[in-house]
Structure 1
Amino acid sequence: MKDESFGDDAEAAARLIGYGFRPKTTPARDDTYRALVKRHHEDPDFAYLVRRSAAGMGLMILGVSTRSGMVHAALPGSVFETKMDQFARQARMRENRDAERALHGITHLAIAVLAFPRREDLADDGYVGRVAASEVTQYVRSVCDLLAERATADEQEVDPPAEAPGLDSTWRIYLKRPEVAPTRKGNQGTSATRTITTRALTYLFDRGMLTQQGTDPERTERTYQTTHRYQIQVRELAATRAYEELLTLGVLPPVGDADGLRTMNPDTLYD
């Protein structure tokens, strides 16, 4: 005879994991979701079942709370991985694949750093970061300018370090790109760095990591506000290979304490 109680628990665990794929749904607006989160907090056996079930699906649980809901990330090799290759391919960029990954990776990294510029901001659950496309684009360009200055100071071509492939070509390519490149129809061309940033911000918005705010009167552009879901992602994951590359070069301050970061597959974007 089948154990109906265990079957109900397994179904409930799978349902909670499934909510993690619906980032726009929150426990505050869904009674079933809220009840499952409450059970996860109060029942260690259920929490264990959720964690092991997620692992079997190729997912790592990053956090479960009434504020963020279920937050998980794809483990290496999981069917749920979103490859940076796939994301970059949608942009139809002209450079080689390694450069494409790095261009988009460094942009996602810049968004995370600008959203949480201080360690205490990342650690504070009540902190809300704000970013806009123009400041992200300008920040990445300033990083690339710094790398170019270092290359000039060395009076030689700088080969990318063995542990950081692609960075050299990344800053060279980025500096050659225009910030904006209007097409004949008045749209932004895919080669513009502003387009890369806009795609990254839209990607995060679609996955419930950012919310759209009103238009900034000074910059006349839409601003984005971070969600707790995104804060958990940035706090727990060094999201791209570009993070490690820039951290090694000392260009960017570290995000959180070193032992508080877990590095995921460097070719994997947020799930």
Structure 2
Amino acid sequence: MTSAAGGYGKDDAEAATRLIGYAFRPRLLPHRDAEYAALVRRFDEEPAFEDLVRQSATGLGLQVLGVTMRAGSVIVPVPGSVFETRLEGYARQVRQSHHREAERVLHGIAHLAIAALCFPRPQDLVDDSYVGAVTAAVVDKHVRHMCRELAKRSAEAHENSDTPVEAPELERAWRAYARRSEAGETTSGQVAPTTTEAIVGKALRYLVDKGLLSESENLELASKVYRTTGRYQLQVRELAAVEAYRELLLLGIVPPADSAGSLRVISDDGTLH
């Protein structure tokens, strides 16, 4: 324990690194592990222990986004860290095709759209009780809506001899997404892996593997519904500072939320409102 003089006891460093280690077990939450819960309480109640955890993480090239009972230990690598997820590693996990350069843009758009659709309003990111939900079809539908909106704005700007400035990053990406097939099957009846809906599905499953989303079957929609976790909420708070994320929200592609801020499945085509 932390000494009365404000220093660290002999077991504190080990406890701090154990808490950091829990961040690499994203599907394990404090309410399922007594030791984990105790370490989270220490982080919350002992400023000196919190400082030790943060300093230890910094030394490893990591940043502590938050430590809560709901989200657990949420720690991400800083750029250049040995723990940073490389594009090659992500490509292997989501089984990208050999057209990786082209699909990198599509996967980036998919991840931004998932985040924006899961948390369509600023208050959703600060409300710890909020749970967003999406399906692969809904994400793909709204990204395609974004593509049509950008195409329309680009055409109008061309007619006016003006340069569109609302969404410069997305402006360069919508053409690649719009050109890709929306859905389809292989000759064996499997979902074609290069369609946009398949790419969104890969991105969603990646987030499930990282403990950022949970998945469940929806019998009415005959599809999987993906719901946000506290861990994902903390990470999207950081993402909200990225210009491309704000651009997606400004395009108005997110569906309306109910008065409680929850997204609800209400229609046969899987649209979330």
TM-score between both structures, scaled by the size of structure 2: 0.80
Once the two structures are overlaid, the 10-residue window that deviates more, 78-87 or 168-177, is: 78-87
1:19-168 alignment to 2 at 5 Å? 19-84=22-87, 86-88=89-91, 90-92=95-97, 94=99, 97=101, 99-155=102-158, 164=168, 167-168=170-171
Q: How far apart are 1:243 and its partner, in Å?
A: 2.4
Equivalent position of 1:194 in the other structure: 197
Instruction: Answer whether contact 1:130 1:225 (CA < 8 A) is retained.
Output: yes
Equivalent position of 1:212 in the other structure: 215
Q: Which amino acid aligns with 2:184?
A: A
> Structure 1 segments of 4 or more deviating over 4 A?
156-161, 244-247
The answer for unaligned runs of 5 or more in structure 2 is 1-7, 255-273
Q: How far apart are 1:94 and its partner, in Å?
A: 2.4
Instruction: Answer whether contact 1:93 1:190 (CA < 8 A) is retained.
Output: no
Identity over the aligned pairs, expressed in percent? 48
Q: How far apart are 1:45 and its partner, in Å?
A: 1.1
Instruction: Answer whether contact 2:145 2:253 (CA < 8 A) is retained.
Output: no
Q: What is the alpha-carbon distance in structure 2 between the residues aligned to residue 196 and residue 216 of structure 1?
A: 23
Q: What is the alpha-carbon distance in structure 2 between the residues aligned to residue 8 and residue 150 of structure 1?
A: 60
Q: What is the alpha-carbon distance in structure 1 between the residues aligned to residue 38 and residue 80 of structure 2?
A: 31
Give deviations 1:114-166, integer Å, cap 9, x for gaps.
112222222211111111111000011111111111121123799998x955x
Q: What is the alpha-carbon distance in structure 1 between the residues aligned to residue 48 and residue 209 of structure 2?
A: 33
Cα gap change, 1:122 to 1:180, in 2 (>3 Å): same
Instruction: Answer whether contact 2:191 2:198 (CA < 8 A) is retained.
Output: yes
Instruction: Answer whether contact 2:183 2:198 (CA < 8 A) is retained.
Output: yes
Q: Tell me, yes or no, if structure 1 residue 171 matches structure 2 residue 136.
A: no
Q: What is the alpha-carbon distance in structure 2 between the residues aligned to residue 155 and residue 86 of structure 1?
A: 40
Q: Secondary structure at the match of 2:11?
A: helix
Q: Secondary structure at the match of 1:155?
A: helix
Equivalent position of 1:236 in the other structure: 238
Once the two structures are overlaid, the 10-residue window that deviates more, 49-58 or 151-160, is: 151-160
Q: Tell me, yes or no, if structure 1 residue 182 matches structure 2 residue 185.
A: yes
The answer for unaligned runs of 5 or more in structure 1 is 255-271
Instruction: Answer whether contact 1:13 1:50 (CA < 8 A) is retained.
Output: yes
Give deviations 1:208-262, integer Å, cap 9, x for gaps.
1111123251x32111111111111112334867426646xx42589xxxxxxxx
Q: What is the alpha-carbon distance in structure 2 between the residues aligned to residue 144 and residue 93 of structure 1?
A: 24
Instruction: Answer whether contact 2:185 2:191 (CA < 8 A) is retained.
Output: yes
Instruction: Answer whether contact 1:105 1:240 (CA < 8 A) is retained.
Output: no
Q: How far apart are 1:84 and its partner, in Å?
A: 4.2
Cα gap change, 1:116 to 1:168, in 2 (>3 Å): closer
Q: Which amino acid aligns with 1:92?
A: S
TM-score between both structures, scaled by the size of structure 1: 0.81
Instruction: Answer whether contact 1:216 1:223 (CA < 8 A) is retained.
Output: no
Q: What is the alpha-carbon distance in structure 2 between the residues aligned to residue 204 and residue 108 of structure 1?
A: 9
Root-mean-square deviation (Å): 2.7
Equivalent position of 1:222 in the other structure: 224
Give deviations 1:6-31, integer Å, cap 9, x for gaps.
44111111000000010111110101
Q: What is the alpha-carbon distance in structure 2 between the residues aligned to residue 168 and residue 119 of structure 1?
A: 24
Instruction: Answer whether contact 1:188 1:195 (CA < 8 A) is retained.
Output: yes
